[in-house]
Structure 1
Amino acid sequence: MTLLYVQAWLFTAGQRGKPKLVIENNSYFRTKGDSLRAYWSCSFYKSKKCRSKLVTHRGSHTVKYTHRPHTHPDEYSDTSSVTPLDADIDEFYIRDGKDCLA
């Protein structure tokens, strides 16, 4: 398990327009979550069988890697090439399609 402090969250749009979280030159899609945590898997989970996963915690700028390393080269050579998406990390703390922000 590895912990990483993230100064600012960076999101980009996936092929179908859904937000992806960009961390250390790789993107992740949200797989599940609740009011306190969001779970993310590498965007290459299916195509390259990459099992890199991470967890974000509400109110924290800390990312916890649960499976590493990636099985592929970095998706982005530099995050400055990422087209940012205007999204807030708090939007992802939901459970079963219900908003948990209260």
Structure 2
Amino acid sequence: MTAREIETTVAAGDDDGTIVRCGLDKAAVHPTVVIVGEDVDLAVLLVRFAPPIINVLFMKPGRGHVETKLFSVRQLQQLPFAKTILLLHNFSGYDTTSTIHEQSENC
């Protein structure tokens, strides 16, 4: 990835908060940031915490017969449920345990 000047960060384990936090930090200095992951918690956290003025995309890789999907977080934030997405996601039965913490980590 470095040959194409693409910066990557790999989070240890299932640390959705770190992934989202690092992506949002990078969005402050890059015109477009793509966060790749299979966990819908990433999209939920992005919809809730990404400032609407930045261009962040969420890519869910395809597997088998399922195609890769690319979502604009800005467009998702305009949907009617965006302001209550964390509450809706939590009550839907998913295990949303990730949050954005005031922690300093390398991104």
Structure richer in helix, relative to its length:
2
Do the structures match in fold with TM over 0.5? no
Structure richer in strand, relative to its length:
1
Q: State the TM bucket, normalised to the shorter chain.
A: under 0.3
Q: TM-score, normalised by structure 1?
A: 0.25
Q: Which is higher, the Rg of structure 1 or of structure 2? A: 2
Q: TM-score, normalised by structure 2?
A: 0.25
Higher relative contact order (CA 8 A, sep 6+): 1
